[in-house]
Amino acid sequence: MKKEEILHRLLEEKIISIVRLKNGEMVSKVIENLVQGGIRVLEITSNTPNFDAQITVSRKKYPDIVIGAGTIYTVEFAQRAISAGAQFLVTPNTNKAVVEEAIKEGIPVIMGAFTPTEVANAVSYGADIIKLFPAGQLGISYYKSLKGPFSNTSFFAVGGIGEANIKKWLEAGIDGIGIGSTLVKQEMNTPEDLENIILKANRFKEFIKKP
């Protein structure tokens, strides 16, 4: 899948599920349930045990799902993720070197930014989408203020997004949402935890479908 196709999928699906787990053995089960719940784009974070191996296995098992790597804040993490087959990178910060690695390999970057200067820097570095982080604390009014000067920039809201506020963010015009612990908790220990993933994923997908 080429970079333009991946970007199209990211913007079309609008939801990225963030898989950050303390127990690496649960990754495959969590992803299976996310897929059952209708999730088509997900990121496996670098602080999940053996994240790169998990990306490789998941890419092979789910060839129709777009799978990226998250919490990529160093060149080393970027290289490991790309070698593992990550289709996009997500950063918590604004890092030119990470973008350069992604550009060399022809994959998109969703780059974390907080201030107008960081947004401008990320855009100038070649980031494809800005990850407004932590969006929940910054708020929708802050996003709207940023969107004024950066009207041609795509934004995803990440951090503090859940069922209580996702609709408001979508109505405000956000291009996409990254959903973390409200969908996948760091500790998944019971069958009920896994079942809840399917139910919650279905509900989040319904928010995207609603006009």
- Catalytic residue flag (residue 131): yes
Do the Cβ atoms of 186 and 21 come closer than 8 Å? Answer: yes
Model pLDDT, residue 27:
96
Chain length of the chain: 211
Single-letter amino acid code for the residue at 57: V
pLDDT above 90: residue 123: yes
User: What is the set of domains in the chain, with CATH numbers?
Assistant: 3-209 (3.20.20.70)
Copy the structure tokens of residue 15.
């939801």
- Catalytic residue flag (residue 200): no
- Interior angle at CA 83, CA 86 and CA 90, nearest 5: 35
Q: Catalytic one among 14, 101, 131, 200?
A: 131
Q: Give the residue-averaged pLDDT of 160-181.
A: 95
DSSP labels, the chain: --HHHHHHHHHHH-EEEEE--S-GGGHHHHHHHHHHTT--EEEEETTSTTHHHHHHHHHHH-TTSEEEEE---SHHHHHHHHHHT-S-EE-SS--HHHHHHHHHHT--EEEEE-SHHHHHHHHHHT-SEEEETTHHHH-HHHHHHHHTTTTTS-EEEESS--TTTHHHHHHTT-SEEEE-TTTS-S---SHHHHHHHHHHHHHHHHHHH--
Question: pTM, whole model, 2 decimals?
Answer: 0.96
Q: Catalytic one among 13, 43, 101, 200?
A: 43
CA 7 to chain centre: 12
**% of the chain residues with pLDDT over 70:** 99
- Interior angle at CA 97, CA 15 and CA 6, nearest 5: 30
In tens, the pLDDT along 50-89 reads 999 999 999 999 999 999 999 999 999 999 999 999 999 9
In tens, the pLDDT along 157-167 reads 999 999 999 99
pLDDT above 80: residue 2: yes
Residue reference for tokens 């319904």: 206
Single-letter amino acid code for the residue at 69: A
